[in-house]
Chain A
């Protein structure tokens, strides 16, 4: 049974909107008829710290956290955090990540440099890897703030949840005034 469960990790920096993205994903999975569990840490991580959100869906899900090394899809909102979380993925897993760098405090203060060649490091370990300039695509869609939705669109193509459920989830979770832009961003993500 457990091998029918999809394990998805959403990783990035506190404040990037990771929780909303994982809620949309969970909602879509529930609408598609799956059992769903999701887990993440609030609190301290919201002040710009690393955030990891776990979403699991399938016929029956027990643990809300993805067992270490069993992640199917890593959904990265920021490069360094994406690389940090690669050990959570199973070998041969999928990486869909925003090609974005957010400097941590030590880099902002000039004590360390932002690690080099991160896209290459991801690609050499995970062949099934899509790195996207979500900011640019979201801007084209009408609002840079829809960057996460672009990524969500790209991830949606790689999961067994029909498009209609994604759109219903978006309609439920995204404020009305931002819905059209987000739907466009989602479609542009699906085409990647």
Chain B
């Protein structure tokens, strides 16, 4: 049976067909939908972990117990999971273990564009790289088999265009002849103390040599000889662009990017006149090919930055671009917080208080955008609190009072709480605002350990964040309604002034949450035309439901207007209107 699947759907399907029993992840674009689709297969126990390190450790446990396990994350998630990963390569596996790292060249939704292939080499873990959804499914399945055969975890590298691209996939059946998981003690293999690890390391090196040799004849590494005046080594999505733009060129399409099949590369290089290596981001394949003493052209013509496109590849080879009309200059359309978003009032207040805001990763990173313009740093998941502590270590006492960290509930539980522990332990006077909207919103509303539900939608314990802060030693924890501007601004100002650690927790949910008992839209608001003075105060919160309408005569005068379909009745704009022109539209 054929279906159109995204790369992410196909990876989930591949795991299902491979007999995978456990799938674990922390959400992150572009990887999130893998677990959301694994959920469709009741044979797989799918779960969200608080962070990628825990997700991988859960998968490792499942593998050690004898079951096949899938762990997925975005590229930067591998940084968090790197600690277990680097030793997992030494222990190897019992049940097959596949770690999916979804890269984001061009940074469509990420803070950097690191190339995960370097992790495969660094951690000594083999890596497959699919080029479409069919390969996503096949390679995932194959990775589980090879993982057991070679006693090593396997990585599968995706990218935004692979994960979120869709193509036709031929579905298969789930394997049913796998041994049942069962406890089995094997400390010499699974307890990585120096004595044991010293025995394991040479085995890992030998595995990579064996796999490199075997890879020369494995069907996923494929030499396609056409016109031999140009030969191109490529992998993943880049293969598709090469076939699109240079349909007659010979290609060596690598399905496994680590370890490289050296014999096959030599054979291909000898078969073509000029050799190119076409890859996005780092010269990962190119450097290794050149280190083999083979002459090749790569990053001389393709950028180290951003993603490849057919047009960029055409430019790289000096091919003419199709005629197209010039772009019109248009106002930009950046993403924005939703109408009624509970973060808006907090950032409006932080802006008014001229705070120095160390930020974090989530929807609230949009607090950086005008007109809220209230975020000064954003580095990685959980970094806001540590950065706030660090800033207060160097600036004057007066400036210390301006330092505020903002972090979402999910990000706080991911890696932010360690920062808070440090803040209390080392007595930083900064203020932390936990924007608790009861969901992991940015990646598309995933549950987390504080929402009270699992990925499989089973009710579960909800972490009590105020109590957790108390347990970490925070003496001043205050809960505020972020839709009440007066309260929000007053409490933030009081806690900023306090010369010791303090935490403010907001208590309104994300407006996108579909559970009725969590969020319900209120009656929409409207602007009373006669009362509106055109002062524009309500525009300062940047709500997409409020529009400035210039006067019909073209003068500077105008009035605000509220789109009833968009307005959730959050009431924040009403509190900004000094003329009582805004009210519930009953």
Contacts and interface: CB of A to CB of B under 8 A. Distances in A.
B29 A42 contact: yes
Contacts of A37: 132, 165-167
Given A36-B168, A67-B310, A87 B333 contact: no
* B165, B166, B333, B444: residue with the most chain A Cβ atoms closer than 10 Å: B333
A14 interface: yes
A88 interface: yes
A173 to B, nearest CB: 11
B322 interface: yes
B333 A13 contact: yes
B247 A105 contact: no
A134 B544 CA distance: 22
A64 to B, nearest CB: 4
A23 to B, nearest CB: 8
A64 B332 CA distance: 25
Contacts of B328: 83-84, 86, 115, 121
Size band of the A side of the interface? 35 or more
A125 B328 CA distance: 12
B536 A110 contact: yes
A108 B331 contact: no
Given A67-B322, A91-B324, A45 B335 contact: yes
B96 interface: no
**Interface class of chain B by DSSP:** loop
A24 B162 CA distance: 20
Interface residues of B, number: 58
B134 to A, nearest CB: 11
A102 B323 CA distance: 29
B326 interface: yes
B161 A44 contact: no
Contacts, number: 176
Contact of B327 (A1, A26, A36, A87): A87
B390 interface: no
Nearest to A68: B311
A13 B311 CA distance: 24
A43 B366 CA distance: 13
Interface in A84-136: 84, 86-91, 103-110, 112-115, 121, 125
Interface in A26-63: 26-27, 30, 35-50, 61-63
Interface in B152-179: 160-161, 164-168
B123 interface: no
A41 B166 CA distance: 12
Contact of A63 (B241, B324, B539): B241
A38 B166 CA distance: 5
Contacts of B366: 47
Contacts of B522: none
A62 B327 contact: no
Contacts of A69: 311, 321-324
A71 to B, nearest CB: 9
B557 to A, nearest CB: 11
List of 5 A-B pairs having minimum Cβ-Cβ separation, nearest first: A43-B109, A110-B548, A69-B324, A47-B335, A67-B310
Interface of A: 1-2, 13-14, 23, 26-27, 30, 35-50, 61-65, 67-70, 80-81, 83-84, 86-91, 103-110, 112-115, 121, 125
